[in-house]
Amino acid sequence: MKFDNIQQPARQVAAHPWVEKLARLGHAAKGTVYFIVGLLAAQAAFGVGGKTTDTSGALEEIINQPFGKFLLGIVTVGLIGYAIWRLVEAIFDPERTSQDGDAKRIAQRLGYTFSAFAYAGLAATAIKLILGSGGGGGDSTKDWTARFLAQPFGQWMVGLAGVVTIGVAIAYLYEAFKGKFRRHLKWQQMNDTERTWAMRVGRLGIASRAVVFAIIGIFFIQAARHSNANQAKGLGEALATLEQQPYGAWILGLVAIGLIAYAIYSLFEARYRRIAV
């Protein structure tokens, strides 16, 4: 009875129409950001301009376009919506992760919480850009790593972050290979063509994210081993590292195409994601 009393308000909050609308706009905004990151990386890989950058760099690209502030304003609302939805997932468990084992449930909710704060930070960067006060400057990955390294057991914490990030990458690869991401979509509402393309872009996109996460995780472990925050790298630097490898242009190009595919998959999520309970 007590469990039901707790879950009922959770379902009401998660199923509220404005929460669903914000979540769907959030998936679309996330897709927009990843599309820009992937497109710029693809251009760099194929020698037609562009550069490797992170999500903050993608926001700067948006604001430099005609009507940039207006466009970035829409993306910002979406990013805020996505952050709110992730927080709802972390607190209220609308997708019933509580039915999984305790370890998996805790890991998922921690992941949702981290995602909520990450996208809230990205939205804050967007707001600064709109207001003309810059994107915040500095390197957030290195800054946060330095703060953790300065704490007791800081090297262990950063090392653990690296291991967890690599674990997430492995989980993404498994999800892409098995096509498990489709359980999040309203599969029965999609036609055959949509299902086919959702599987294609979902697999390629999620696998590409796995590659990037694995590289970021390795850099975290290196930063922990040497107690050097400068060795921690984010998305943009991970892509730049791929470019510096043998056959780097081909590798970066493939991952960049994968990130574009992930952006398209995010649009499928915006339309067909199971959100209401």
Evaluate whether residue 38 is within a structural domain.
yes
Evaluate whether residue 91 is within a structural domain.
yes
pLDDT score of 6? 47
Distance of CA 124 to the CA centre of its chain: 16
pLDDT score of 14? 56
What is the per-residue DSSP string for 90-140? HHH-TT-GGGS-HHHHHHHHHHHHHHHHHHHHHHHHHHHHHHTS-S--S-H
Give the pLDDT confidence of 79-117 residue by residue, as tens digits: 998 998 888 888 876 665 545 556 667 777 788 888 888
- The candidate with the shortest Cα–Cα distance to 26, out of 69, 98, 87, 96, is 87
Contacting residues for 174 by C-beta, under 8 A, at least 6 apart: 180
- In the block, residue with structure tokens 């970066």: 252
Number of domains, the chain: 1
Is residue 138 scored above 60 in pLDDT?
no
Give the pLDDT confidence of 19-35 residue by residue, as tens digits: 788 889 999 999 999 99
Give the pLDDT confidence of 55-68 residue by residue, as tens digits: 888 999 999 888 88
What is the rounded CA–CA span in Å between residue 231 and residue 239?
Answer: 15
What is the domain extent for residue 173?
Answer: 2-272
What is the rounded CA–CA span in Å between residue 88 and residue 275?
Answer: 11
Q: Which helix (H) or strand (E) holds 234?
A: none
User: What confidence tier does 134 reach under pLDDT thresholds 50, 70, 90?
Assistant: low
Evaluate whether residue 157 is within a structural domain.
yes
pLDDT score of 48? 84
Give the pLDDT confidence of 210-226 residue by residue, as tens digits: 999 999 999 999 999 99
Evaluate whether residue 62 is within a structural domain.
yes
Give the pLDDT confidence of 167-201 residue by residue, as tens digits: 999 999 999 999 999 988 999 999 999 999 999 99
Question: Phi then psi for 95, rounded to 5 degrees?
Answer: -90, 10
Other CB atoms within 10 A of residue 86 CB? 22
Contacting residues for 186 by C-beta, under 8 A, at least 6 apart: 272, 273, 274
User: What confidence tier does 1 reach under pLDDT thresholds 50, 70, 90?
Assistant: very low
3-state helix, strand, coil in the chain (%, to 5): 80, 0, 20
Evaluate whether residue 277 is within a structural domain.
no
Q: What 8-state DSSP symbol labels residue 23?
A: H
- In the block, residue with structure tokens 């005609």: 66
Is residue 8 scored above 70 in pLDDT?
no
- In the block, residue with structure tokens 């890991």: 107
Which tokens go with 107?
């890991």
Please answer whether residues 238 and 57 qualify as being in contact, where contact means their C-beta atoms are separated by less than 8 angstroms: no
User: Which has more confidence, 76 or 1?
Assistant: 76
